[in-house]
Structure 1
Protein backbone atom coordinates (compact mmCIF):
# COMPACT_ATOMS: atom_id res chain seq x y z
CA UNK A 1 0.00 0.00 0.00
CA UNK A 2 2.79 2.40 0.95
CA UNK A 3 4.67 1.68 -2.22
CA UNK A 4 1.57 2.40 -4.33
CA UNK A 5 0.95 5.77 -2.61
CA UNK A 6 4.55 6.78 -3.11
CA UNK A 7 4.42 5.88 -6.76
CA UNK A 8 1.18 7.78 -7.35
CA UNK A 9 2.51 10.97 -5.68
CA UNK A 10 5.63 11.07 -7.83
CA UNK A 11 5.36 13.58 -10.68
CA UNK A 12 6.30 12.45 -14.13
CA UNK A 13 9.22 14.22 -15.90
CA UNK A 14 6.72 15.71 -18.37
CA UNK A 15 4.73 17.43 -15.58
CA UNK A 16 7.90 18.83 -14.07
CA UNK A 17 9.05 20.06 -17.48
CA UNK A 18 5.78 21.91 -18.08
CA UNK A 19 5.33 23.26 -14.55
CA UNK A 20 8.64 25.12 -14.26
CA UNK A 21 8.19 27.25 -17.40
CA UNK A 22 4.63 28.06 -16.32
CA UNK A 23 5.83 29.23 -12.93
CA UNK A 24 8.57 31.30 -14.54
CA UNK A 25 6.06 32.84 -16.98
CA UNK A 26 3.63 33.69 -14.17
CA UNK A 27 6.35 35.24 -12.04
CA UNK A 28 7.59 37.25 -14.98
CA UNK A 29 4.10 38.58 -15.64
CA UNK A 30 3.69 39.65 -12.01
CA UNK A 31 7.04 41.44 -12.10
CA UNK A 32 6.11 43.26 -15.33
CA UNK A 33 2.76 44.40 -13.92
CA UNK A 34 4.33 45.65 -10.69
CA UNK A 35 7.06 47.38 -12.64
CA UNK A 36 4.54 49.19 -14.81
CA UNK A 37 2.53 50.32 -11.80
CA UNK A 38 5.63 51.67 -10.09
CA UNK A 39 7.39 53.25 -13.05
CA UNK A 40 4.43 54.30 -15.19
CA UNK A 41 1.51 55.05 -12.88
CA UNK A 42 -0.47 56.85 -15.57
CA UNK A 43 -4.25 56.55 -15.49
CA UNK A 44 -4.72 55.45 -19.13
CA UNK A 45 -8.37 54.78 -19.83
CA UNK A 46 -9.49 56.08 -16.45
CA UNK A 47 -11.85 59.00 -16.11
CA UNK A 48 -10.71 62.20 -14.47
CA UNK A 49 -11.40 62.42 -10.75
CA UNK A 50 -14.58 64.13 -9.62
CA UNK A 51 -14.98 66.50 -6.70
CA UNK A 52 -17.71 68.95 -5.74
CA UNK A 53 -16.70 71.83 -3.51
CA UNK A 54 -19.06 72.54 -0.59
CA UNK A 55 -21.45 75.46 -0.77
CA UNK A 56 -19.94 76.96 2.40
CA UNK A 57 -16.45 76.94 3.90
CA UNK A 58 -16.25 78.54 7.37
CA UNK A 59 -13.68 81.28 7.82
CA UNK A 60 -13.36 82.61 11.39
CA UNK A 61 -14.02 86.34 11.63
CA UNK A 62 -15.63 86.48 8.18
CA UNK A 63 -19.28 86.19 7.17
CA UNK A 64 -19.93 83.99 4.14
CA UNK A 65 -21.82 85.79 1.37
CA UNK A 66 -22.01 83.56 -1.70
CA UNK A 67 -20.37 80.70 -3.55
CA UNK A 68 -20.27 80.18 -7.32
CA UNK A 69 -18.69 77.48 -9.48
CA UNK A 70 -15.66 78.46 -11.54
CA UNK A 71 -15.64 77.56 -15.25
CA UNK A 72 -13.00 75.17 -16.54
CA UNK A 73 -11.00 76.85 -19.33
CA UNK A 74 -10.64 74.88 -22.55
CA UNK A 75 -6.86 74.74 -22.14
CA UNK A 76 -7.23 73.36 -18.59
CA UNK A 77 -9.66 70.50 -19.32
CA UNK A 78 -7.02 67.86 -18.54
CA UNK A 79 -5.93 69.28 -15.19
CA UNK A 80 -8.79 71.18 -13.58
CA UNK A 81 -11.42 68.98 -11.94
CA UNK A 82 -13.57 71.72 -10.43
CA UNK A 83 -13.39 75.11 -8.76
CA UNK A 84 -15.37 77.49 -6.55
CA UNK A 85 -15.34 81.21 -5.77
CA UNK A 86 -16.31 82.12 -2.20
CA UNK A 87 -17.18 85.66 -1.12
CA UNK A 88 -16.88 86.91 2.49
CA UNK A 89 -17.37 90.14 4.40
CA UNK A 90 -15.89 91.50 7.60
CA UNK A 91 -17.58 94.82 8.37
CA UNK A 92 -16.90 97.03 5.37
CA UNK A 93 -14.13 94.80 4.04
CA UNK A 94 -14.61 92.12 1.39
CA UNK A 95 -12.64 88.97 0.66
CA UNK A 96 -12.82 86.75 -2.40
CA UNK A 97 -11.33 83.25 -2.38
CA UNK A 98 -10.95 81.13 -5.50
CA UNK A 99 -9.99 77.48 -5.10
CA UNK A 100 -9.35 74.98 -7.89
CA UNK A 101 -8.80 71.25 -7.62
CA UNK A 102 -6.00 70.44 -10.06
CA UNK A 103 -4.59 67.02 -10.94
CA UNK A 104 -1.25 66.26 -12.61
CA UNK A 105 -0.69 69.98 -12.73
CA UNK A 106 2.20 72.36 -13.13
CA UNK A 107 3.07 72.96 -9.45
CA UNK A 108 4.51 76.43 -10.14
CA UNK A 109 1.99 78.96 -8.79
CA UNK A 110 3.49 81.69 -10.97
CA UNK A 111 2.75 79.62 -14.08
CA UNK A 112 -0.78 78.91 -12.84
CA UNK A 113 -1.46 82.62 -12.37
CA UNK A 114 -0.47 83.23 -15.97
CA UNK A 115 -2.35 80.23 -17.32
CA UNK A 116 -5.64 81.12 -15.61
CA UNK A 117 -5.38 84.85 -16.31
CA UNK A 118 -5.03 85.97 -12.68
CA UNK A 119 -3.28 89.11 -11.46
CA UNK A 120 0.50 88.65 -11.18
CA UNK A 121 3.11 90.56 -9.16
CA UNK A 122 4.78 93.61 -10.65
CA UNK A 123 7.97 92.75 -8.74
CA UNK A 124 10.23 89.72 -9.01
CA UNK A 125 8.11 86.71 -8.05
CA UNK A 126 10.62 85.17 -5.58
CA UNK A 127 10.44 88.34 -3.47
CA UNK A 128 6.70 87.76 -2.89
CA UNK A 129 7.18 84.30 -1.32
CA UNK A 130 6.84 83.99 2.44
CA UNK A 131 6.65 81.10 4.93
CA UNK A 132 4.13 80.76 7.74
CA UNK A 133 4.65 79.30 11.20
CA UNK A 134 3.49 75.83 10.14
CA UNK A 135 6.18 75.70 7.47
CA UNK A 136 3.91 76.34 4.51
CA UNK A 137 4.78 78.74 1.70
CA UNK A 138 2.60 81.36 0.01
CA UNK A 139 3.02 84.33 -2.30
CA UNK A 140 1.58 87.71 -1.29
CA UNK A 141 1.54 90.86 -3.44
CA UNK A 142 -0.67 93.73 -4.60
CA UNK A 143 -1.72 95.44 -7.81
CA UNK A 144 -3.37 98.86 -8.11
CA UNK A 145 -6.68 97.82 -6.56
CA UNK A 146 -6.27 94.56 -4.63
CA UNK A 147 -3.95 92.61 -2.36
CA UNK A 148 -3.53 88.96 -3.29
CA UNK A 149 -2.32 85.79 -1.59
CA UNK A 150 -1.86 82.54 -3.46
CA UNK A 151 -0.55 79.07 -2.69
CA UNK A 152 -0.94 75.37 -3.49
CA UNK A 153 -2.36 73.18 -0.71
CA UNK A 154 -0.63 69.80 -1.11
CA UNK A 155 -2.20 66.35 -0.57
CA UNK A 156 0.55 65.67 1.97
CA UNK A 157 2.88 68.18 3.62
CA UNK A 158 2.88 71.95 3.83
CA UNK A 159 1.63 74.36 1.18
CA UNK A 160 3.95 75.28 -1.69
CA UNK A 161 4.52 78.00 -4.27
CA UNK A 162 7.40 76.79 -6.45
CA UNK A 163 7.96 73.56 -8.32
CA UNK A 164 11.02 72.81 -6.17
CA UNK A 165 8.96 73.08 -2.95
CA UNK A 166 6.23 70.87 -4.40
CA UNK A 167 8.68 68.19 -5.57
CA UNK A 168 10.40 68.18 -2.20
CA UNK A 169 7.07 67.26 -0.60
CA UNK A 170 6.58 64.49 -3.15
CA UNK A 171 10.00 62.93 -2.62
CA UNK A 172 9.75 63.06 1.17
CA UNK A 173 6.07 62.21 1.72
CA UNK A 174 4.84 60.21 -1.30
CA UNK A 175 7.51 57.50 -1.24
CA UNK A 176 6.40 55.86 1.99
CA UNK A 177 5.73 52.16 2.71
CA UNK A 178 2.09 52.73 3.67
CA UNK A 179 1.38 54.01 0.15
CA UNK A 180 2.74 50.89 -1.57
CA UNK A 181 -0.56 48.94 -1.57
CA UNK A 182 -2.78 51.81 -2.89
CA UNK A 183 -0.21 52.43 -5.64
CA UNK A 184 0.01 48.74 -6.60
CA UNK A 185 -3.79 48.50 -6.69
CA UNK A 186 -3.97 51.54 -8.97
CA UNK A 187 -5.89 53.64 -6.46
CA UNK A 188 -3.15 56.26 -6.26
CA UNK A 189 -0.18 57.28 -8.37
CA UNK A 190 3.36 56.94 -7.13
CA UNK A 191 3.89 60.70 -7.37
CA UNK A 192 0.79 62.59 -6.29
CA UNK A 193 0.60 65.62 -8.58
CA UNK A 194 -2.62 67.09 -7.16
CA UNK A 195 -3.11 70.57 -5.74
CA UNK A 196 -5.84 72.71 -4.17
CA UNK A 197 -4.71 75.97 -5.72
CA UNK A 198 -6.04 78.97 -3.80
CA UNK A 199 -6.07 82.68 -4.68
CA UNK A 200 -7.29 85.17 -2.05
CA UNK A 201 -8.03 88.79 -2.98
CA UNK A 202 -9.03 91.79 -0.86
CA UNK A 203 -9.68 95.33 -2.16
CA UNK A 204 -7.22 97.98 -0.97
CA UNK A 205 -9.85 100.73 -0.67
CA UNK A 206 -7.16 103.43 -0.56
CA UNK A 207 -5.41 101.47 2.20
CA UNK A 208 -1.70 100.63 1.91
CA UNK A 209 -1.15 97.01 0.94
CA UNK A 210 1.00 96.44 4.03
CA UNK A 211 -2.09 97.05 6.17
CA UNK A 212 -4.18 94.54 4.22
CA UNK A 213 -1.59 91.76 4.14
CA UNK A 214 -2.09 90.74 7.81
CA UNK A 215 -5.80 90.13 7.14
CA UNK A 216 -4.96 87.93 4.16
CA UNK A 217 -2.33 86.00 6.11
CA UNK A 218 -4.74 85.34 8.98
CA UNK A 219 -7.48 84.21 6.58
CA UNK A 220 -4.99 81.96 4.76
CA UNK A 221 -3.92 80.28 8.00
CA UNK A 222 -7.53 79.34 8.79
CA UNK A 223 -8.31 78.39 5.19
CA UNK A 224 -5.36 76.03 4.87
CA UNK A 225 -6.00 74.45 8.28
CA UNK A 226 -9.60 73.71 7.25
CA UNK A 227 -8.71 72.18 3.86
CA UNK A 228 -5.64 70.08 4.56
CA UNK A 229 -7.47 67.28 6.46
CA UNK A 230 -10.27 67.46 3.86
CA UNK A 231 -8.09 67.06 0.76
CA UNK A 232 -10.07 65.18 -1.92
CA UNK A 233 -9.67 61.42 -2.19
CA UNK A 234 -7.82 60.36 -5.40
Structure 2
Protein backbone atom coordinates (compact mmCIF):
# COMPACT_ATOMS: atom_id res chain seq x y z
CA UNK A 1 0.00 0.00 0.00
CA UNK A 2 2.84 2.33 0.94
CA UNK A 3 4.53 1.61 -2.35
CA UNK A 4 1.31 2.47 -4.20
CA UNK A 5 0.98 5.72 -2.26
CA UNK A 6 4.61 6.60 -2.93
CA UNK A 7 4.14 5.92 -6.65
CA UNK A 8 1.01 8.05 -6.75
CA UNK A 9 2.76 10.82 -4.81
CA UNK A 10 5.72 10.73 -7.17
CA UNK A 11 3.40 10.83 -10.17
CA UNK A 12 1.50 13.77 -8.66
CA UNK A 13 4.71 15.63 -7.90
CA UNK A 14 5.96 15.01 -11.42
CA UNK A 15 2.68 16.29 -12.92
CA UNK A 16 2.80 19.34 -10.65
CA UNK A 17 6.37 20.15 -11.68
CA UNK A 18 5.43 19.72 -15.34
CA UNK A 19 2.42 22.04 -14.84
CA UNK A 20 4.56 24.69 -13.16
CA UNK A 21 7.15 24.35 -15.90
CA UNK A 22 4.46 24.92 -18.54
CA UNK A 23 3.22 28.00 -16.67
CA UNK A 24 6.77 29.35 -16.45
CA UNK A 25 7.28 28.75 -20.16
CA UNK A 26 3.96 30.48 -20.98
CA UNK A 27 4.89 33.46 -18.81
CA UNK A 28 8.24 33.75 -20.54
CA UNK A 29 6.53 33.62 -23.95
CA UNK A 30 4.02 36.29 -22.89
CA UNK A 31 6.79 38.47 -21.45
CA UNK A 32 8.89 38.16 -24.60
CA UNK A 33 5.89 38.82 -26.83
CA UNK A 34 4.89 41.87 -24.78
CA UNK A 35 8.42 43.23 -24.97
CA UNK A 36 8.50 42.70 -28.73
CA UNK A 37 5.14 44.46 -29.15
CA UNK A 38 6.26 47.36 -26.92
CA UNK A 39 9.50 47.79 -28.89
CA UNK A 40 7.59 47.59 -32.17
CA UNK A 41 5.15 50.26 -30.99
CA UNK A 42 8.01 52.56 -29.99
CA UNK A 43 9.69 52.10 -33.37
CA UNK A 44 6.37 52.61 -35.14
CA UNK A 45 5.79 55.79 -33.15
CA UNK A 46 9.15 57.13 -34.28
CA UNK A 47 8.26 56.28 -37.87
CA UNK A 48 4.87 57.93 -37.42
CA UNK A 49 6.50 61.22 -36.53
CA UNK A 50 8.64 61.28 -39.65
CA UNK A 51 6.18 59.95 -42.21
CA UNK A 52 3.79 62.89 -41.62
CA UNK A 53 6.38 65.28 -43.02
CA UNK A 54 5.03 67.02 -46.11
CA UNK A 55 7.01 68.63 -48.88
CA UNK A 56 4.93 71.67 -49.82
CA UNK A 57 4.32 72.30 -53.54
CA UNK A 58 6.81 74.45 -55.43
CA UNK A 59 4.03 76.43 -57.08
CA UNK A 60 0.43 77.31 -56.20
CA UNK A 61 -1.69 79.50 -58.47
CA UNK A 62 -3.67 82.43 -57.10
CA UNK A 63 -6.35 84.35 -59.01
CA UNK A 64 -5.28 87.85 -60.14
CA UNK A 65 -1.69 87.25 -59.08
CA UNK A 66 1.24 86.08 -61.19
CA UNK A 67 3.42 83.48 -59.54
CA UNK A 68 7.03 84.67 -59.31
CA UNK A 69 9.02 82.13 -57.28
CA UNK A 70 9.08 79.95 -54.18
CA UNK A 71 11.73 78.60 -51.85
CA UNK A 72 12.06 76.33 -48.84
CA UNK A 73 12.30 78.47 -45.72
CA UNK A 74 15.65 77.91 -44.06
CA UNK A 75 14.36 78.40 -40.53
CA UNK A 76 14.50 76.56 -37.24
CA UNK A 77 11.30 74.53 -37.12
CA UNK A 78 9.68 73.97 -33.75
CA UNK A 79 6.13 73.81 -32.37
CA UNK A 80 5.84 70.40 -34.13
CA UNK A 81 6.45 72.02 -37.53
CA UNK A 82 7.88 69.70 -40.20
CA UNK A 83 8.26 71.84 -43.34
CA UNK A 84 8.02 75.46 -44.49
CA UNK A 85 7.83 77.21 -47.86
CA UNK A 86 7.66 80.84 -49.03
CA UNK A 87 5.78 81.92 -52.17
CA UNK A 88 6.08 85.27 -53.99
CA UNK A 89 3.50 86.74 -56.38
CA UNK A 90 3.25 89.94 -58.41
CA UNK A 91 0.08 91.86 -59.33
CA UNK A 92 -0.57 93.84 -62.51
CA UNK A 93 0.26 97.00 -60.54
CA UNK A 94 3.61 95.44 -59.55
CA UNK A 95 2.68 94.88 -55.90
CA UNK A 96 4.54 91.94 -54.39
CA UNK A 97 2.57 89.44 -52.31
CA UNK A 98 4.32 87.02 -49.94
CA UNK A 99 2.87 83.78 -48.57
CA UNK A 100 4.69 81.90 -45.81
CA UNK A 101 3.34 78.39 -45.18
CA UNK A 102 4.35 76.07 -42.31
CA UNK A 103 3.07 72.49 -42.07
CA UNK A 104 2.69 71.40 -38.45
CA UNK A 105 1.60 68.37 -36.41
CA UNK A 106 0.52 69.99 -33.17
CA UNK A 107 -1.29 72.79 -31.40
CA UNK A 108 -0.69 76.02 -33.25
CA UNK A 109 0.22 79.31 -31.59
CA UNK A 110 0.18 82.35 -33.86
CA UNK A 111 2.93 84.12 -31.92
CA UNK A 112 5.30 81.11 -31.99
CA UNK A 113 4.57 80.38 -35.65
CA UNK A 114 5.17 84.02 -36.60
CA UNK A 115 8.46 84.00 -34.71
CA UNK A 116 9.64 81.12 -36.91
CA UNK A 117 9.27 83.32 -40.01
CA UNK A 118 10.78 86.35 -38.29
CA UNK A 119 7.58 88.31 -37.63
CA UNK A 120 6.89 89.78 -34.21
CA UNK A 121 3.32 90.42 -33.19
CA UNK A 122 1.41 91.18 -30.01
CA UNK A 123 -1.94 89.53 -29.34
CA UNK A 124 -3.29 93.00 -28.60
CA UNK A 125 -2.47 93.99 -32.16
CA UNK A 126 -4.41 91.11 -33.73
CA UNK A 127 -7.82 91.80 -35.24
CA UNK A 128 -9.80 88.51 -35.24
CA UNK A 129 -12.19 87.97 -38.14
CA UNK A 130 -14.58 85.20 -39.21
CA UNK A 131 -15.62 84.30 -42.74
CA UNK A 132 -18.54 81.96 -43.40
CA UNK A 133 -17.56 78.56 -44.85
CA UNK A 134 -13.89 79.39 -44.26
CA UNK A 135 -13.35 80.09 -40.58
CA UNK A 136 -11.26 82.37 -38.37
CA UNK A 137 -8.19 84.43 -39.25
CA UNK A 138 -6.19 87.32 -37.80
CA UNK A 139 -5.25 90.65 -39.38
CA UNK A 140 -2.42 92.87 -38.15
CA UNK A 141 0.35 95.15 -39.39
CA UNK A 142 3.77 96.52 -38.52
CA UNK A 143 5.72 99.44 -39.94
CA UNK A 144 6.42 97.66 -43.21
CA UNK A 145 3.71 95.13 -44.03
CA UNK A 146 0.07 94.17 -43.56
CA UNK A 147 -0.53 90.53 -42.57
CA UNK A 148 -3.21 87.86 -42.49
CA UNK A 149 -2.52 84.71 -40.46
CA UNK A 150 -4.50 81.54 -39.87
CA UNK A 151 -4.29 77.76 -39.63
CA UNK A 152 -6.00 75.40 -42.10
CA UNK A 153 -6.78 71.95 -40.69
CA UNK A 154 -7.30 68.72 -42.64
CA UNK A 155 -11.05 69.37 -43.01
CA UNK A 156 -10.54 72.87 -44.41
CA UNK A 157 -11.63 74.68 -41.23
CA UNK A 158 -9.45 77.66 -40.33
CA UNK A 159 -8.57 78.85 -36.83
CA UNK A 160 -6.61 81.76 -35.37
CA UNK A 161 -6.17 80.83 -31.69
CA UNK A 162 -5.02 77.73 -29.81
CA UNK A 163 -8.49 77.33 -28.28
CA UNK A 164 -10.15 77.44 -31.71
CA UNK A 165 -7.61 74.96 -33.04
CA UNK A 166 -8.21 72.46 -30.20
CA UNK A 167 -12.01 72.78 -30.39
CA UNK A 168 -12.08 72.29 -34.17
CA UNK A 169 -9.62 69.40 -34.54
CA UNK A 170 -11.13 66.70 -36.79
CA UNK A 171 -12.03 63.51 -34.90
CA UNK A 172 -10.99 60.44 -36.91
CA UNK A 173 -13.37 57.57 -36.04
CA UNK A 174 -12.37 55.08 -38.73
CA UNK A 175 -11.42 51.51 -37.70
CA UNK A 176 -7.81 52.10 -38.74
CA UNK A 177 -7.49 55.19 -36.55
CA UNK A 178 -9.27 53.52 -33.62
CA UNK A 179 -6.97 50.48 -33.87
CA UNK A 180 -3.90 52.71 -34.05
CA UNK A 181 -5.20 54.69 -31.05
CA UNK A 182 -5.66 51.50 -28.98
CA UNK A 183 -2.14 50.42 -29.92
CA UNK A 184 -0.83 53.78 -28.76
CA UNK A 185 0.50 54.74 -32.19
CA UNK A 186 -1.93 57.50 -33.08
CA UNK A 187 -4.39 60.02 -31.71
CA UNK A 188 -8.09 60.09 -32.51
CA UNK A 189 -7.73 63.80 -33.22
CA UNK A 190 -6.01 65.02 -36.38
CA UNK A 191 -3.56 67.72 -35.23
CA UNK A 192 -2.19 68.57 -38.65
CA UNK A 193 -2.33 72.20 -39.75
CA UNK A 194 -1.03 74.45 -42.51
CA UNK A 195 -0.17 77.69 -40.74
CA UNK A 196 -0.33 80.46 -43.35
CA UNK A 197 0.78 84.08 -43.22
CA UNK A 198 -0.03 86.28 -46.22
CA UNK A 199 1.50 89.77 -46.38
CA UNK A 200 1.93 92.81 -48.62
CA UNK A 201 4.03 95.98 -48.22
CA UNK A 202 2.43 99.14 -46.86
CA UNK A 203 3.35 102.78 -47.23
CA UNK A 204 3.77 105.31 -44.43
CA UNK A 205 0.34 106.78 -45.08
CA UNK A 206 -1.16 103.28 -44.65
CA UNK A 207 -0.18 103.17 -40.96
CA UNK A 208 -2.88 103.31 -38.30
CA UNK A 209 -5.66 100.82 -37.68
CA UNK A 210 -8.31 103.34 -38.80
CA UNK A 211 -6.62 104.13 -42.09
CA UNK A 212 -8.87 103.47 -45.08
CA UNK A 213 -5.72 102.74 -47.09
CA UNK A 214 -4.74 100.00 -44.61
CA UNK A 215 -8.26 98.60 -44.79
CA UNK A 216 -7.85 98.24 -48.55
CA UNK A 217 -4.66 96.27 -47.93
CA UNK A 218 -6.58 93.98 -45.59
CA UNK A 219 -9.30 93.51 -48.19
CA UNK A 220 -6.66 92.48 -50.70
CA UNK A 221 -5.27 89.96 -48.24
CA UNK A 222 -8.74 88.56 -47.54
CA UNK A 223 -9.38 87.96 -51.26
CA UNK A 224 -6.06 86.12 -51.54
CA UNK A 225 -6.89 84.16 -48.37
CA UNK A 226 -10.15 82.88 -49.87
CA UNK A 227 -8.30 81.56 -52.94
CA UNK A 228 -5.49 80.07 -50.87
CA UNK A 229 -7.99 78.34 -48.55
CA UNK A 230 -9.97 76.98 -51.49
CA UNK A 231 -6.82 75.35 -52.91
CA UNK A 232 -5.88 73.66 -49.64
CA UNK A 233 -9.42 72.60 -48.83
CA UNK A 234 -9.25 70.40 -51.94
CA UNK A 235 -5.55 69.49 -51.72
CA UNK A 236 -4.75 69.00 -48.04
CA UNK A 237 -2.79 65.73 -47.73
CA UNK A 238 -4.88 62.73 -46.67
CA UNK A 239 -2.21 61.40 -44.30
Q: TM-score higher than 0.5 here?
A: yes
Task: Give the distance between the partners of 2:117 and 2:86, measured in 1 at CA.
Answer: 14
Contact 2:111-2:120 within 8 A present in 1 as well: no
* Distance in 2 of aligned mates of 1:58 and 1:187: 36
The residue that corresponds to 1:62 in the other structure is: 65
Instruction: Indicate the residue corresponding to 1:160 in structure 2.
Output: 159
Worse-superposed segment, 221-230 or 44-53:
44-53
Distance 1:160 1:77, change over 3 A: closer
Tell me, in whole angstroms, the C-alpha distance in 2 between the residues paired with 1:185 and 1:221: 39
Matched residue, 2:108 = 107
CA contact (8 A) 1:101 1:196 kept: yes
Any gaps of 5 or more consecutive residues in structure 1? 1-13
Match of 2:15 in 1: none
Residue 177 of structure 1, CA deviation: 4.5
Aligned to 2:221: 216
CA distance 1:56–1:136, shift in 2 (3 Å) = same
Q: How does 1:38-49 map to 2 (within 5 A)?
A: 43-44=45-46, 46-49=48-51
Residue 60 of structure 1: how far off its partner (Å)? 0.8
Contact 1:69 1:84 in 2 (8 A): yes
For 1:195, the equivalent position in structure 2 comes to 193
> After the TM superposition, which residues 98-177 of structure 1 pair with which residues of structure 2 at under 5 Å, given as runs?
98-104=100-106, 106-121=107-122, 124-125=124-125, 128-170=127-169, 173-177=170-174
Per-residue deviation, residues 34-58 of structure 1 (Å, max 9, x unmatched): xxx9xx9x92465523322222101
In the TM superposition, what whole-angstrom CA distance separates every residue of 1:1-39 from its partner, at most 9, and x where no partner exists?
A: xxxxxxxxxxxxx99xx89xx8xx98xx99xx8xxx9xx
Q: Give the superposition deviation at 1:162.
A: 0.8
Q: TM-score, normalised by structure 1?
A: 0.72
Q: What is the Cα deviation at residue 77 of structure 1?
A: 5.3
Quote the residue 1:204 is aligned against: 202
| Distance of 1:228 and 1:56 partners within structure 2 | 16
Please list every run of 5 or more consecutive structure 2 residues that lacks an aligned counterpart in the other structure. Answer: 1-17, 207-212
Larger Rg: 2
Q: Which runs of 4 or more aligned residues in structure 1 lie more than 6 Å from their structure 2 counterparts after TM superposition?
A: none
- 1:53 and 2:51 equivalent? no
- How many pairs were matched up? 210
Superposed displacement of residue 148, structure 1: 0.3
Q: Secondary structure at the match of 2:157?
A: coil
